[in-house]
């Protein structure tokens, strides 16, 4: 009998780790279209693992913990690599803000759940992740067209960066406010 740990949703989730490594290597080598392709495949596995787990009732505690963690590795690791490319227009402070928010909220989530308080993602956290994925994909596309100097595309890039940073910080603040009453006990 196969362990429930090695079910289809968990294997799909785990497949994003090597896909993340391929994304990072492709970014480092300036293979933008390869990076974008790997990212699209990884994003599809992210959708598929959740769908499969719900459809066939194969959700596991491991999957609920690993899925968002691996998403963070892929997206935030990708931003770290993109930050080294000036055309990405990602500054160190932007990536540091994203990393700080994720570390803080992940630690806070663990603490809150140790108190027995449900502390899952809310709409703002989901919006933040959606925007981070859109920004990541757009930056790969943008760099794939040779770091375009087309003003319109640069404008979209800059707006996406700042909207994503604001959503990242805003969702972090919202989680802190939501947890504050429990932290006062």
At residue 83, the pLDDT reads: 97
Q: What is the pLDDT of residues 91-126, one digit of tens each?
A: 999 999 999 999 999 999 888 888 888 887 889 999
pLDDT digits (tens, 9 = 90+) for 10-38: 999 999 999 999 999 999 999 999 999 99
The range of the structural domain enclosing residue 93 comes to: 4-183
Q: What is the CATH number of the domain that holds 98?
A: 1.20.120.1760
- Count the domains in the chain: 1
Residue 1 has pLDDT above 70, yes or no: no
State residue 3's pLDDT score: 67
55-97: pLDDT as tens digits: 999 988 898 889 989 999 999 999 999 999 999 999 999 999 9
Give the pLDDT score at 65: 86
Residue 171 has pLDDT above 60, yes or no: yes
> The whole model's pTM is what?
0.91
**pLDDT tens track for 129-168:** 999 999 999 999 999 987 666 788 889 999 999 999 999 9
Q: Measured between alpha carbons, how far is 110 from 26 in angstroms, rounded to an integer?
A: 33
Cα distances from 28 to residues 25, 46, 70, 71, 79, in angstroms, run 5, 23, 20, 19, 12
Q: Determine contact, residues 143/88, Cβ cutoff 8 Å.
A: yes
- Crossing angle (nearest 10°) for helices 32-55 and 61-83: 170
What integer pLDDT is reported at residue 147 of this predicted model? 62
């Amino acid at each position: 009998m196969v362990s429930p740990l090695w079910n289809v949703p968990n294997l799909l989730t785990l497949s994003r780790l090597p896909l993340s490594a391929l994304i990072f290597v492709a970014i480092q080598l300036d293979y933008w279209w390869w990076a974008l392709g790997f990212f699209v495949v990884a994003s599809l596995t992210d959708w598929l693992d959740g769908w499969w787990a719900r459809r066939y009732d194969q959700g596991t505690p491991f999957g609920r913990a690993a899925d968002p963690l691996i998403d963070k590795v892929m997206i935030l690791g990708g931003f770290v690599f993109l930050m080294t490319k000036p055309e990405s227009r990602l500054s160190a402070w932007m990536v540091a803000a994203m990393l700080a928010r994720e570390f803080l909220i992940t630690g806070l989530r663990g603490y809150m759940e140790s108190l027995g308080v449900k502390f899952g993602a809310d709409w703002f956290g989901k919006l933040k992740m959606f925007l981070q994925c859109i920004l990541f994909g757009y930056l790969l596309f943008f760099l794939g067209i040779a770091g375009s100097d087309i003003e319109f595309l640069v404008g979209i890039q800059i707006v996406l960066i700042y909207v994503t940073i604001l959503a990242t910080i805003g969702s972090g603040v919202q989680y802190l406010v939501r947890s504050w009453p429990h932290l006062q006990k």
